[in-house]
Structure 1
């Protein structure tokens, strides 16, 4: 098989992995070296967009889509009849350098199906990164997808060459893995993540003592969970995310809506979940990481799934109307962050501006706040909402979006990949 055909198959096979981002590292700045190639800092990475609006960064490949595992939700599972291909490490190195020199990419995201056994596969993946770093002095970004069943020594070696390493947890519960991915094991995956966290912490401490010590995965680790393939609720997913953030210090948990695959198992859903569910999980994840919310505030067992009609921050505010309206001239930072329509940056601007005088409603608009969304929930020196506004279902009906927005296309043409992106940006 020629290289072009391999690239078509293995780049397409990699599109299902959402945990691909190129932020958080400045370890291998190429300044001061005449021979070094690339830099992992700054902007300039060329992006491509999947048809559903998902941003795909870097040269994103599988080393091979052949796999000895038979995960029912995976297009590359052992029992699938999809066309197979396999790169050699030399071919991936050559592609990465050629694409970089043409200014198409700024780095590499490399994953693989499991061939022969996990250790053999990890050795092949690491060999690509080793040749780029040592033979070609490549300073660009490298993200390696590691295999929890591989030996800890190989995972540590991957972290010495990669900026970020990740292990996909796939499903949030062991019950789900036993049904859909019997070769995978949640405790084993968590053990591997724990080993990575310990090695990252140790490397950070070593560099405080000796600045020339090599970094270990300076951009940290991430993971991905599939949404809608099993019966896991949003409650299960968010509690698993909270566990990963608090106990393993993951940089990101990515959520990927299940996509029906050809010749799929009858155990799988016939239809994909609405993309808005994935979107709501990202919004809830943001509240956990940056807004000071606890999982129990966002979702609880009695109602285990997020409200698809409203974002989780607005939904919380409507459930706890006793906390509103909030005086923006007096409220602490923690309460300002709970006002719908006011994000982290806007709160910083409000705290800075109110040192110099009392804020009016018009001042908030000039600070970039969405007045339409936040005005029922706040008080300024010249504005106070009508008390009846926070009563009954009137306020909820006011914020219900049109049906097309719930499908994340915002009424734009289906071929426009930026339509769904626009729904993911902005403050909540």
Structure 2
């Protein structure tokens, strides 16, 4: 099979992996080197679903020894198969880079022969790019759960980011649909990466010349909608991963029905807006001070598809509003629907010098129709708005407005 045909098959197979953001890498160009990664990342082009990427995103192979029922590349699937050699991936990466198509590589793979064998192949690609071709662009490698500590150490030496996918939100889900995998094995791989990342940071504090290990950290991905698991459990799993392993991101990927589907899997994909709401809730947990139990109480274990999770929380807690933007602490301002982290920080700086008015908020491009029922300013105090049964209609975006937002845009900005 020629390289062009392999690329067609393996690039298409890689589209199911969403955990490919490049933000966080800071490799600088060196004399005689090739490529660079600077600042906030290298995202320049957009996929049809709104994700911004400029990475060569492929699988090393879609052959796999596992039979995960939700995966199109499972061993029992009749999908067309292909396999790159490490040398072919290196050549493709350099050729694409020199044509200015990409600025980095996202390389994943099915598990071929064993986790260690597959990881050796992935590491060989990264090692060849870094050592033989002095490639300084972004490299994201899959960390195959169950691979040896030595191979994980080598991968982190050459890659900017590593990712071991948790795939499903609970161990029970994995046992049902992917019995060859487990949370324990994936969690151990994540722990090894976390330990090495922290160790590298400590070493670099003592000596800036100490080698970096996965400087952009690690990420993971969970399928949404492949099992009946509610959003509360999905977000609780994500929160535990952030807490235990200091992950940079947890990516949520809506389940996509595949041919010859297992009877235990749904026939239809979940609404894409569910993925969108999970990203919004994830941002609230990480940057706004919310807890899973606040966003999803026991009586409501799934996120509302009609409104964003911060607005849903505010409508359940109307007694906490209105909030005086001239007096309220930062923690409370972050809970006002329509106020994002950067906006709140600007408000805190401005109010040191004068009383905030609606005009000040308008200058900061705050969505006033959305915010006004929940705040008090020097020239505004809501009356009976919070008691109105039609308040949700007044403050939530219309269906037409909602369709303009992509999951990736909200996941990047987090202005909720």
- Work out whether the TM-score is over 0.5: yes
- Mapped to 2, the partners of 1:302 and 1:270 lie a distance apart of 27
- Mapped to 2, the partners of 1:203 and 1:422 lie a distance apart of 32
- String of CA shifts for 1:251-270, please: whole Å, max 9, x gaps: 00000000111221121100
SS of residue matched to 1:302:
coil
Unaligned runs of 5+ in 1: 411-417
SS of residue matched to 1:36:
coil
- Mapped to 1, the partners of 2:324 and 2:56 lie a distance apart of 48
The answer to whether residue 273 in structure 2 is matched with residue 281 in structure 1 is: no
- Mapped to 2, the partners of 1:86 and 1:265 lie a distance apart of 26
- Mapped to 2, the partners of 1:49 and 1:69 lie a distance apart of 32
1:409 paired residue among 393, 403, 410: 403
SS of residue matched to 1:109:
strand
The answer to whether residue 179 in structure 2 is matched with residue 196 in structure 1 is: no
Partner of 2:71: 74
- Mapped to 2, the partners of 1:281 and 1:420 lie a distance apart of 9
Partner of 1:357: 354
- String of CA shifts for 1:387-411, please: whole Å, max 9, x gaps: x211142212323544455xx634x
SS of residue matched to 2:393:
helix
The answer to whether residue 157 in structure 2 is matched with residue 160 in structure 1 is: yes
Partner of 1:20: 20
- String of CA shifts for 1:296-346, please: whole Å, max 9, x gaps: 111122211011111001111111111110111111111111111010110
The answer to whether residue 28 in structure 2 is matched with residue 29 in structure 1 is: yes
SS of residue matched to 2:238:
helix
* Alignment map for 1:207-356 (pairs within 5 Å): 207-356=204-353
Partner of 1:378: 375
- String of CA shifts for 1:35-77, please: whole Å, max 9, x gaps: 1111121478354444333444411010000101111111111
- String of CA shifts for 1:241-297, please: whole Å, max 9, x gaps: 100111110000000000111221121100000011000000000001111111111
From the superposition, tell whether residues 190 and 326 of structure 1 become closer, same or farther in structure 2 (CA, over 3 Å): same
TM-score, normalisation: structure 1: 0.93
- Mapped to 2, the partners of 1:158 and 1:166 lie a distance apart of 11
Contact kept, 8 Å, 2:369 with 2:394, in 1: the verdict is no
* Structural RMSD (CA): 1.6
The answer to whether residue 126 in structure 2 is matched with residue 129 in structure 1 is: yes
1:390 paired residue among 376, 386, 395: 386
- Mapped to 1, the partners of 2:51 and 2:62 lie a distance apart of 21
Contact kept, 8 Å, 2:24 with 2:41, in 1: the verdict is no
Contact kept, 8 Å, 1:146 with 1:166, in 2: the verdict is yes
From the superposition, tell whether residues 278 and 195 of structure 1 become closer, same or farther in structure 2 (CA, over 3 Å): same
Partner of 1:427: 415
SS of residue matched to 1:381:
coil
How many equivalent pairs are there? 415
Partner of 1:143: 140
From the superposition, tell whether residues 397 and 44 of structure 1 become closer, same or farther in structure 2 (CA, over 3 Å): closer
Partner of 2:167: 170
Partner of 1:103: 100
- Mapped to 2, the partners of 1:111 and 1:203 lie a distance apart of 24
Contact kept, 8 Å, 1:326 with 1:379, in 2: the verdict is yes
SS of residue matched to 1:347:
helix
- Mapped to 1, the partners of 2:148 and 2:188 lie a distance apart of 11
SS of residue matched to 2:77:
coil
TM-score, normalisation: structure 2: 0.96
Q: Which moved more, 1:262-271 or 1:9-18?
A: 262-271
Q: Which moved more, 1:187-196 or 1:223-232?
A: 187-196
- Mapped to 2, the partners of 1:149 and 1:423 lie a distance apart of 33
From the superposition, tell whether residues 159 and 374 of structure 1 become closer, same or farther in structure 2 (CA, over 3 Å): same
Contact kept, 8 Å, 2:371 with 2:395, in 1: the verdict is no
- Mapped to 1, the partners of 2:196 and 2:223 lie a distance apart of 27
Partner of 2:117: 120
Q: Which moved more, 1:88-97 or 1:366-375?
A: 366-375
